Amino acid sequence: MAQISRRTLIAPALAGLLALVPGGLVQARLNRSELSSVAVTLPPGARVPLALGFEDAVAGDGSGATTLERSFGGRPSLLLPVDYTCGNVCDPMLTMSAAALKATGLRQGEDVRFVLVGLDPKDGVEAARRMLEREWPEHGEGVAALIGDEPAIAALTGALGYGFRYDPGTDSYAHPAAAMIMTGDGRVARVLSPLALNARDLRLALVEAGEGRVGTVADRFVLLCYGFDAATGVYTPLVRRVLSVAAAMTMVAIAFGIALLSRQQRRA
């Protein structure tokens, strides 16, 4: 798995800064050094601790004690770190991610999971529920809105290399806009931008993370010809691989044609 550098997610990190103040104006009281740490830098072989304990606001009665392992359910998952009380960047991140996930055609809850994780330990169940009701009231099955204490949040974001900063002057967070595509066993498969997410790239990323257990044969054929470009955060055609597949198909067609002609000549 390739390491994602800070430069890879400069745009999402800057977008995350808009969450600092109402109206999207960057008037943070954090200094330049603090803001430079607001980025995603995946550690080699990044994997989250599945035993980390959280509370799931979607559980209903506020007694939804759960773990990351239970939230992922052994399925490829879209993990979205958010600030539940952010009304600027986090709301469109959730809306656009939910729309893209629906457009993939994958079965939410059965094929894939969608997991929100709150970055602010002060946010409770009601804050998480308000965000979901406001931005995605028809979320359905397979969605978790996790709330954790500071150690749990620090352990998760540390494992992801997800850097964010609290600004006490505005009581808000500077954080990257990043959608983490997770495998069922907690490995980071891809990092996508939720502010530029489309159904094709999200489906390919989830199929790839599913390691053959999600998607169709056609999806896996497409993955043979497309590769993930970490610099742009999208899947692009691999020219050599496309040509190789095309050449192999041509050779098969020629061989089939020769065999057919030989058979006809023998019959004649």
Amino acid letter, 77: S
82-91 residue pLDDT tens: 999 987 789 9
Which helix or strand (DSSP H or E) is residue 152 part of?
A: helix 150-160
N-term to C-term CA, the chain:
57
Rounded distance, CA 111 to CA 142, Å?
9
Rounded distance, CA 116 to CA 207, Å?
20
Check: CB of residue 98 under 8 Å from CB of residue 139.
Answer: yes
pLDDT higher than 80, residue 155: yes
Arithmetic mean of pLDDT, 3-12: 41
Rounded distance, CA 52 to CA 67, Å?
5
Arithmetic mean of pLDDT, 210-236: 60
Check: CB of residue 80 under 8 Å from CB of residue 198.
Answer: no
Strands 143-147 and 77-82: unpaired
pLDDT higher than 50, residue 15: no
Angle at 5 between CA 106 and CA 13, to 5 degrees: 75
Arithmetic mean of pLDDT, 192-215: 83
DSSP 60: S
| Confidence label for 26 from pLDDT (cuts 50, 70 and 90) | very low
pLDDT higher than 70, residue 98: yes
Indicate the domain borders of the chain: 7-214
CB atoms within 10 A of CB 253: 10
What's this model's pTM, rounded to 2 decimal places? 0.73
| Confidence label for 254 from pLDDT (cuts 50, 70 and 90) | confident
Rounded distance, CA 162 to CA 191, Å?
11
pLDDT higher than 70, residue 246: no
| Confidence label for 186 from pLDDT (cuts 50, 70 and 90) | very high
pLDDT higher than 70, residue 231: no
| More confidently predicted of 233 and 254 | 254
Rounded distance, CA 222 to CA 249, Å?
14
State whether CATH 3.40.50.300 applies to domain 7-214. no
Rounded distance, CA 121 to CA 1, Å?
31
Highest mean pLDDT: which range of 175-184, 226-235, 249-258: 175-184
pLDDT-above-90 percentage for the chain: 43
Arithmetic mean of pLDDT, 57-77: 85
CA distances from 36 to 41, 109, 117, 173, 179 (A): 12, 36, 22, 14, 19
Task: Bin 103: left if φ > 0, else alpha if -120 < ψ < 50, else beta.
Answer: alpha
pLDDT higher than 80, residue 262: no
